[in-house]
A and B are shown apart, each in its own frame.
Chain A
Amino acid sequence: MPTVKFFATLRQVAGAREIQLEADNVRDLLDRLSTSYEGRMDRYLKISTVLVNGKNVVHMKGKKTKLKPDDEVSIFPPLGGG
């Protein structure tokens, strides 16, 4: 099943760097995360960028992007850097 990698504050909410989660597509995965963490992630999930294997899903099919078992899904809240 796909690996979900959490970053920044999402990692603190999840209490883990990554988890395995069964999901057919990105929308399904985000819904399952919301449910699994009882809404505690929602605030961040809705403003986060989602990458599948390093590629932003906005350049794929957005939330309809299909997920394969060996895919890595990375979720980033909005960051600043230097």
Chain B
Amino acid sequence: MSSKYGGYMGKFLDIDLSTGDVREYEVSDRLREEYLGSKGLAARILYDTVPRGADPLGPENVLIVNTGPLVGSGAPCTSRFNVSTKSPLTGGVLSSNCGGNFGMFLKRAGLDGILLRGKASSPTWIRIEDGQVELEDASELWGLDTEQTQEKLPKDTGKMVIGPGGEHAVRYACIISQERAAGRGGAGAVMGSKNVKAITAKGKAKVPVANPEKFQADVKKWIHILKSHPATGEMMPAFGTAAFVNRCNETNTLPTHNFKRGSFEQADAISGETLADTLLTSNFGCTSCVIKCGRRVTVDGKDVKGPEFETLGLLGPNIENADLAKICEWNYKADLMGIDTISLGNTLGFAMELTEKGLMDSPLQFGRTEGISQLIEDIAYRRGLGDDLAEGVRVMSEKYGGKDFAMHAKGMEFASYEPRGAVGHGLGYAISNRGGCHIAGGYMIYLEANGPLTMDPLTTHAKPQLTALMQILLDALSDAGSCQFTAFTAVPKQALALQPSGLLYRILAKSLEAFGPAISVMLRYPQALAIVPPMDLLQHPKAISDLTGMKLTFGKYIMVGQRTYLIERMFNLREGITGAQDTLPRRSLEELQTSDPRSRVPLAKMLPAYYRVRGLDRCGEPTRETLDRLGGACLTDEALPDYNPQAGDGAAGRGGALCPPLSSSQH
């Protein structure tokens, strides 16, 4: 279905791998207005196409690869694509976002996205050229690593491939495109379960622009803002995401010894500064990127992608490893095998603690690097001990015990931030729809420990409301197809000049704690925000408006983000993932991180306020009013089997006897 809006190619293909049929999946302009694209739109399509209880690795599951309107438009940092599916790691909704250049190539091929359903009868790669699809034999590619696979595919195409990890259904297998990864949640395993080794795309189509002159002016201004901002124009090119290693270490938010502690004595040895001084050969960026945060390092004489902050934290302090060269080597190996380094580092840390406590028999020890490289390969091929570790932390804790220190939420292992040093970030892990993710959880760490303006990291004041607001803004950013790092200019350079250690920042930091009620009102009545944000805090709404021709006020932009969370929530509820799973392991909730009695995540205190600001009932389910307000009422009839709007305060009608009261032991 074509679109009246700019920014869209107007075509979304539905590919049935079982039959080889290719037809168009109809996406209406109303859906584009409601979800923009990428993560939100894919969640809606997922909701509409995946039957309740589908096996994530079965033919009933679908794999959606799509883009947002900004992708391929010339806007900075927008060469992204999204992969959505039902996760084999969590059993719930998954959206995984990736840089590189595939998103841009997909749009050049004339497509906004594709949906894969069914299962190919033999190894297949999908060739997309100018909107036409061919299913090619991939028997010669099957078994190759991600680098070899990409080398054998046609040049001058965008590529996304899986490695042995995806072929062998590692629950956290990723998809690799160039050297970037759609890393989290096991989308690579879903692709492998469908016998799809690779997808390529190419074409000559151009992204239509509704108001070219205005959009070009927006892009020019946006590039200037990104290049002239100290964070995106200077620090990230110089140190990459790795710059956060030392900052987290200083603020007790660097996971150490399987999240037992928040700082590591040898953190500097694996920091962005040390990386820049020793192993870094150059920096690089995705297509259309002006930040260029990517690192390049040498491994075994070969120039390869260097590790990101998340990888450094979880393959470093989390397993008590201070050998930077080893992390670079493991990072490269994990990418070749096609497995997520975040879940990998967590799984290793958990197995080490299980072994330390005598709950598991393995050669793994904190601080011992011998054998890890081989183990990464064994995980990808599910050999020996690797077969256990390929299941991820949650399944391992069901087999070996240790649930109190199994550091995951909803089955997804935590990102590289220790939540007891920033309790709002901990709330984010608990209520994120995809599980223990920093981005989907709202990235509160930036307002609590790592950004230029930080509030008390251990207070609960306004944390629920700010978490919701941050999630909404980041979701909308993803929906548009933008890199999350463009949000680092939200504190403008002019505001930085007011001195982050000075009086004004002291007042602002304290004031943030009183913002809760104001945010609640704003999120309840976002349509009243018929303006762009003051001081151009975010460039996205105006650029999207000029690109698409939609009249996207800041309020409507916020509603896009709200709908994204809501539809994901509805998907999870249909799968039986309820508010009872909005929780954290005991280590985060009850073990004090330091002598400070506040150094644990007081989830029970924050969760009710979070539910209220999100328009959820006390079970964490959307109220009928919320569904009506956000235009999702049509979902409810089929969403939940016991839907009964008369019965209680939640849309699911479970506000009464079936909804247990919150307690500290539960949350």
Measured in the bound complex, the distance between the Cα atoms of B247 and A11 in whole Å is: 13
Known contacts A8-B239, A8-B243, A58-B506; A81/B309 CB under 8 A: yes
Distance in angstroms from B411 CB to nearest chain A CB is 22
Q: Is B14 an interface residue (CB 8 A)?
A: no
Taking a contact as CB atoms under 8 Å apart, the answer to whether A47 and B310 are in contact is no
Q: Which residue of A lies closest to B236 (CB)?
A: A80
Q: Which B residues between 486 and 518 are near A, CB-CB below 8 angstroms?
A: 488, 491, 493, 496-497, 499-503, 505-506, 509
Taking a contact as CB atoms under 8 Å apart, the answer to whether A81 and B241 are in contact is yes
Q: Which residue of B lies closest to A61 (CB)?
A: B506
Measured in the bound complex, the distance between the Cα atoms of B452 and A77 in whole Å is: 8
Interface string of A35-72 (1 = CB under 8 A from B): 00000000000111111001011110011000000000
B243 contact set on A, CB distance < 8 A: 7-8, 79-81
Taking a contact as CB atoms under 8 Å apart, the answer to whether A8 and B235 are in contact is yes
Known contacts A26-B501, A82-B309; A17/B268 CB under 8 A: yes
Taking a contact as CB atoms under 8 Å apart, the answer to whether B244 and A79 are in contact is yes
Taking a contact as CB atoms under 8 Å apart, the answer to whether B497 and A47 are in contact is yes
Taking a contact as CB atoms under 8 Å apart, the answer to whether A58 and B238 are in contact is no
B452 contact set on A, CB distance < 8 A: 47, 49, 78
Measured in the bound complex, the distance between the Cα atoms of B504 and A46 in whole Å is: 13
Q: Which B residues between 202 and 233 are near A, CB-CB below 8 angstroms?
A: 230-232
Distance in angstroms from B503 CB to nearest chain A CB is 6
Q: Which residue of A lies closest to B311 (CB)?
A: A82
Distance in angstroms from B509 CB to nearest chain A CB is 4
Taking a contact as CB atoms under 8 Å apart, the answer to whether A51 and B250 are in contact is yes
Taking a contact as CB atoms under 8 Å apart, the answer to whether A58 and B250 are in contact is no
Known contacts A7-B247, A47-B452, A79-B235; A54/B252 CB under 8 A: yes
Taking a contact as CB atoms under 8 Å apart, the answer to whether B235 and A62 are in contact is no
Taking a contact as CB atoms under 8 Å apart, the answer to whether B450 and A81 are in contact is yes
Q: Is B643 an interface residue (CB 8 A)?
A: no
Q: Is B293 an interface residue (CB 8 A)?
A: yes
Taking a contact as CB atoms under 8 Å apart, the answer to whether A78 and B509 are in contact is no
Q: Is B454 an interface residue (CB 8 A)?
A: yes
Q: Which residue of A lies closest to B451 (CB)?
A: A78
Q: Is B340 an interface residue (CB 8 A)?
A: no
Measured in the bound complex, the distance between the Cα atoms of B501 and A26 in whole Å is: 9
Taking a contact as CB atoms under 8 Å apart, the answer to whether B501 and A80 are in contact is no
Known contacts A79-B450, A80-B231, A80-B236; A58/B501 CB under 8 A: yes
Interface string of B348-374 (1 = CB under 8 A from A): 000000000000000000000000000
Measured in the bound complex, the distance between the Cα atoms of B308 and A78 in whole Å is: 18
B242 contact set on A, CB distance < 8 A: 81
| SS of B interface (majority) | helix
Taking a contact as CB atoms under 8 Å apart, the answer to whether B485 and A80 are in contact is yes
Q: Is B456 an interface residue (CB 8 A)?
A: yes
Q: Is B482 an interface residue (CB 8 A)?
A: no
The size bracket of the interface on B is 35 or more
Taking a contact as CB atoms under 8 Å apart, the answer to whether A11 and B454 are in contact is no
A8 contact set on B, CB distance < 8 A: 235, 238-239, 243, 272-273
A77 contact set on B, CB distance < 8 A: 230, 234-235
Taking a contact as CB atoms under 8 Å apart, the answer to whether A48 and B456 are in contact is no
Known contacts A8-B243, A17-B268; A82/B509 CB under 8 A: no
Q: Is B298 an interface residue (CB 8 A)?
A: no
Distance in angstroms from A19 CB to nearest chain B CB is 15
Distance in angstroms from A73 CB to nearest chain B CB is 10
Known contacts A8-B235, A26-B501, A82-B309; A47/B230 CB under 8 A: yes
Known contacts A7-B246, A47-B499, A82-B309; A58/B230 CB under 8 A: no
A82 contact set on B, CB distance < 8 A: 241, 244, 293, 308-310, 485
Q: Is A20 an interface residue (CB 8 A)?
A: no
Interface string of B278-315 (1 = CB under 8 A from A): 00000000000001010000000000000011100000
Q: Which B residues between 448 and 464 are near A, CB-CB below 8 angstroms?
A: 450-452, 454, 456
Taking a contact as CB atoms under 8 Å apart, the answer to whether A78 and B231 are in contact is yes
Known contacts A9-B238, A58-B509, A79-B235; A74/B250 CB under 8 A: yes
B578 contact set on A, CB distance < 8 A: none
Taking a contact as CB atoms under 8 Å apart, the answer to whether A78 and B250 are in contact is no
Distance in angstroms from B454 CB to nearest chain A CB is 5
Measured in the bound complex, the distance between the Cα atoms of B496 and A49 in whole Å is: 10
Q: Which of B232, B454, B456 contacts A49 (CB 8 A)?
A: B454
Measured in the bound complex, the distance between the Cα atoms of B234 and A32 in whole Å is: 25
Q: Which of A5, A17, A59, A80 contacts B235 (CB 8 A)?
A: A80
Q: Which residue of A lies closest to B242 (CB)?
A: A81
Measured in the bound complex, the distance between the Cα atoms of B230 and A8 in whole Å is: 11
Measured in the bound complex, the distance between the Cα atoms of B230 and A80 in whole Å is: 9
B234 contact set on A, CB distance < 8 A: 9, 77
A9 contact set on B, CB distance < 8 A: 234-235, 238
The 7 A-B residue pairs whose C-beta atoms are closest, nearest first, are A81-B244, A82-B241, A47-B496, A50-B501, A80-B488, A80-B236, A79-B243
11 contacts between A and B (CB under 8 A): A7-B246, A7-B273, A17-B273, A47-B500, A54-B250, A54-B251, A58-B509, A62-B501, A62-B506, A78-B230, A78-B451
Contacts from A to B (Cβ < 8 Å): 5, 7-9, 11, 17, 26, 30, 46-51, 54, 56-59, 62-63, 74, 76-82
12 extra A-B contacts, CB within 8 A, seeds A17-B273, A59-B509, A82-B241: A5-B250, A7-B273, A11-B273, A47-B493, A47-B496, A49-B452, A57-B501, A58-B501, A76-B250, A78-B230, A79-B235, A82-B308
